[in-house]
């Protein structure tokens, strides 16, 4: 917030940024509600896996929630903290990634944001769930500014280490989708050996992606189409690198990698399919 020369009032840039994100945040909120209603996924309005849904299932959930919320102690109410966080580049990138991949991958997949606990501990921001078999295929770690060359190279090295040396990433607040006659059903699951990928975007591309985002569930702006193809290309390149060492890792890691590879190969070179209205 600063005072514009020649005026006697303050300009709140956080308010301006909240206005810019409204279309995207509204889409995410609708998508999260759709996933909840049709698949039973426990998500908050920002598309994150809601830890509260695990209270009666896992021991220690209250402690995890308290620790996560303790990070924002003294910063205001949860809604006030959210209003500030939603103006940051990192939040924009996570929401943009979720929305673009959800539209582009279509109804065979659900794209969600990980729980606040797993975001902090596992350093994974986004999960892609195969709705057909109910499993998490991969996790994404978004890098918000590729102009910081040292930070970017460190992120690449970190992701390689976690895949090649640790067999992928685990989630305490993971999910599976069971099947019923009418819809999928959320099943809590602690997961291991999930392939982790990174997605890097500059601030300029994040800003443009948010500005040009089309909130329609069935239509994509030119910017969205380009970003989706970029996401697919960068994931495909990382899969090629992972295949070199995947055979020496736990079999489930390779199985997840293989399913994702087949999906991306089907998409590359063709028009990405968009989500059908009302599809899960």
**What pLDDT shows up at residue 148?**
54
CA–CA distance, 276 with 85 (Å, rounded to integer): 31
**What pLDDT shows up at residue 146?**
54
Write down the H helix ranges in the chain. Answer: 13-39, 61-70, 78-85, 89-105, 116-121, 149-160, 203-211, 222-243, 251-267
Write down the H helix ranges in 46-179. Answer: 61-70, 78-85, 89-105, 116-121, 149-160
Segments in the chain below pLDDT 50: 1-11, 271-280
Sign (positive or negative) of CA dihedral 72, 75, 79, 82: negative
CA–CA distance, 164 with 161 (Å, rounded to integer): 5
Instruction: Please give the distance of CA 177 from its chain centroid, rounded to a whole number.
Output: 18
Backbone angles phi, psi at 246, to 5 degrees: -65, -30
Backbone angles phi, psi at 94, to 5 degrees: -65, -45
What DSSP line would sit under 123-151, residue for residue? ---EEEEETTTTEEEEEEEEES-TT-HHH
**What pLDDT shows up at residue 4?**
40
**What pLDDT shows up at residue 145?**
66
**What pLDDT shows up at residue 27?**
96
CA–CA distance, 117 with 119 (Å, rounded to integer): 5
Q: What is the pLDDT of residues 114-164, one digit of tens each?
A: 999 999 988 999 999 998 888 899 999 998 765 555 577 888 889 999 999
Nearest to 173 by CA among 42, 73, 279: 42
**What pLDDT shows up at residue 181?**
55
- CB count within 10 Å of CB 214 equals 17
């Amino acid at each position: 917030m600063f005072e514009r020369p020649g005026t006697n009032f303050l300009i709140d840039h956080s308010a301006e940024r909240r206005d810019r994100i409204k279309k995207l945040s509204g889409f995410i909120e609708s998508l999260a509600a759709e996933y909840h209603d049709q698949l039973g996924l426990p998500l908050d309005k920002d598309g994150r896996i809601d830890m509260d849904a695990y209270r009666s299932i896992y021991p220690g959930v209250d402690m995890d929630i308290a620790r996560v919320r303790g990070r924002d102690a003294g910063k205001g109410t949860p809604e006030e903290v959210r209003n500030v966080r939603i103006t940051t580049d990192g939040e924009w990138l996570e929401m943009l990634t979720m929305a673009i991949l959800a539209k582009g991958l279509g109804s065979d997949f659900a794209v969600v944001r990980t729980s606040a606990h797993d975001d902090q501990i596992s350093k994974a921001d986004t999960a892609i769930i195969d709705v057909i078999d109910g499993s998490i295929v991969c996790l994404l770690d978004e890098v918000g500014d590729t102009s910081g060359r040292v930070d970017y190279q460190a992120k690449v090295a970190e992701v390689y280490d976690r895949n090649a040396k640790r067999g992928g990433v685990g989630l305490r607040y993971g999910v599976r989708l069971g099947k019923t006659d009418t819809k999928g059903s959320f099943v809590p699951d602690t997961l291991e050996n999930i392939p982790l990928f990174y997605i890097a975007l500059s601030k300029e591309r994040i800003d443009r992606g948010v500005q040009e985002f089309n909130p329609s569930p069935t239509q994509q702006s030119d910017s969205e189409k380009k970003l989706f193809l970029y996401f697919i290309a960068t994931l495909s390149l990382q899969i090629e690198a992972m295949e070199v060492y995947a055979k020496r890792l736990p079999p489930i890691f390779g199985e997840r990698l293989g399913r994702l590879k087949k999906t991306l190969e089907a998409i590359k070179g063709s028009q990405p399919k968009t989500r059908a209205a009302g599809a899960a």
